[in-house]
Amino acid sequence: MSKAQYINGAWLTGDGAEQITVYDPSLGQPFAELKVASSAQVDQAIAAARQALPAWRNTSASIRAGYLRGFAEQIEQRRETLIALQMQNNGKPRHEAVVDIDDAVATFTYYAGLAEGLAARPSTEVPLAVPGFTAHTHLEPLGVVGLIVPWNFPLVTSAWKLAPALAAGCTVVLKPSEITPLIEQTYGEIADALGLPAGVLNIVCGKAQTGAALSNHAGIDKLSFTGSNAVGTQVMRSAAAYCRPVTLELGGKSAIVVFDDCDLDQAVEWIVAGICWNAGQMCSATSRLLVQESIADALMLRLKTAFETLRVGNPLDGEVDMGPLASQAQWDKACEYFTIARAEGLQCVAGGEALRDPGWFVSPTLYADVPTTSRLWTEEIFAPVLCTHRFSSEQQALALANDSRFGLVATVISADLVRAERVALALEVGHVWINSIQAVFVETSWGGTKGSGIGRELGPWGLSAYQSVKHVTRCLG
C-alpha cells in the first residue's frame, strides 16, 4: 500500500476508510493499491497550503519561474518512466504518451516565462482622463486553490492548472482521479527534488468523497475542475456557497464540418484523429461528423476502411493506433451506447462492439445518417464512436453544428479558406481548428461555451484565472 498523500512536504498513507485499486486497462487487471485521503487529511492539506501562502505569494516571481523550469526539467528527466506509466495505467499508445509528456514540459516552461514577465513588470500604470490623480494596477494571487483533474489526460490537465497557479503565487491542493492517481504523484516527487517550500503543493488522492471534501471546504479561495457536467454542477454549487471563483472544463459533443471541396484522404486523417485519439476519451472529441451530401458516400467508404484497419491493442505489446478504454465503467458505458444504437435502428458502418477480453477494448465505430434526435447524436459517449449527418448548405451545416447544449471545440475542413474562417467565427465554441488535427498549443486558450464550462485555461488567460486585480489610486494634491 503506497504512501500516496503528499501533504506539507511529507508523504503519508491515506487515513480514509476506502482504498483505490489501480488497473491496467489493457489487461483488466490491478497493479497497485492505495488508501484514500480522509476528510481530516484534506483539512490538513488545506491548512498547510494556507500556512505556506504568505511566504510563497511574496516570493519573487523570478524565483517562482525557476521552480517552474525545474518542474519542466524534472519531467523531462523522468520521460521514459512517465511514458510507460501512461501506457500501463491509461492504455495510451506510445506516440500519444509521448505527446502528453511533451505537453506537460511545454506548459511548465511557458508559465515560467510568464512568471518572469510578472517579475519584470510588477505593476502597470493606468492613464486617467482626470488630472490630479495617478493609478496603477497590481495582479495578486487568488490564494489557496483546489485543483480537481480527470483521468483521460493525467499529468497534462494537472500541468495546465498547476503551472499557472504556482506562477501566479497561489498555493495548491491537487486531487487526481481515482482511476489514474499514480502519475500525478510525480509532482510531489519533483517538489521534493527541487526543495519547493512545504505546503506550496499538496496532493490528496481519493474518490468522490475526497473531491467533495476539497470543493466544499471553506479554506479554498478558488476551484478549478475538469470532468463531467454532473460533477461540475456540484463543484459550482459548492463554490456558490462561498462566492468564490471557479474554472470548469466540462463535456463536449463537438462537430467536424467537411465541405465538398476538401481532399478526401486528408479529411479522413483529420476525422479519425478527432474521434480515435485517446480512444475517443476526450471532451474535445469531434464525435458529430457533418459532411456535405455530394461527397458523403465517397467519404463514408474511405472512413469505413480507415476504421477497420486501425490497429487496436495493448500498447505494451507493440505498436498500436488505439488502446483500450481506461476503465471498466467507461467500457460498460460504451457498450450501453452500442445497445442503444441497435435499439434506435442506427446504420452501423464499422465497429459497434466490444473487441476482446481481457481488457476494456471497443472497436472504432462509425454510424451513418444518424438522426439529430438520436441519443448517440446528442449525448457525450467518451469512446471512439462517430455519428454522421449530411448537409446541403453552409447555413444548414452551421445550424446543425450549433444545435448542441455543448460548445467546446469544432473542426472545419474546406479548401476555401475564406469560407472556413467565416464558418469558424460563426461556430458557438471556444476553439476551432481549420484543416488540422486537434493541435493544442500552450500559448492558445482552452475552454468552451454553453454547457462545456466556465473560464479559460492555457495562454495568458490561464494565468489570469489565478490572479485578482488590485488598483491603487492616489491624489496628487
Name the residues annotated as catalytic: 249, 283
Q: How far apart are CA 155 and CA 468, in angstroms?
A: 26
Q: What are phi and psi of 334, to 5 degrees?
A: -60, -45
Query: Counting every residue, how long is the chain?
Result: 477
Query: Shortest CA distance to 146 belongs to which of 217, 224, 228?
Result: 224
The CA-CA-CA angle for residues 428, 431, 437, to 5°, reads 125
Q: How far apart are CA 42 and CA 23, in angstroms?
A: 25
DSSP 372-406: TTSHHHHS---SSEEEEEEESSHHHHHHHHH-SSE
Question: All 3 cell numbers of residue 191?
Answer: 517538489
Q: What angle do the packed helices 94-120 and 156-168 form, to 10 degrees?
A: 10
CB of 431 within 8 A of CB of 409?
Answer: yes
Q: How far apart are CA 232 and CA 230, in angstroms?
A: 5
Strand pairing class (431-434; 409-413): parallel
Four-CA torsion 447, 449, 455, 457, nearest 10 degrees: 10
Listing from the earlier edge strand, what are the strands of the sheet with 201-203? 10-12, 5-7, 201-203, 171-175, 144-148, 222-226, 246-249, 453-454
- H or E stretch including 413? strand 409-413
Q: For residue 2, what are the β-bridge partners?
A: 34
Q: How far apart are CA 310 and CA 316, in angstroms?
A: 17
Q: How far apart are CA 59 and CA 50, in angstroms?
A: 15
55: left (phi over 0), alpha (psi -120 to 50) or beta: alpha
Q: How far apart are CA 227 and CA 244, in angstroms?
A: 19
Query: Shortest CA distance to 376 belongs to which of 407, 409, 333?
Result: 333
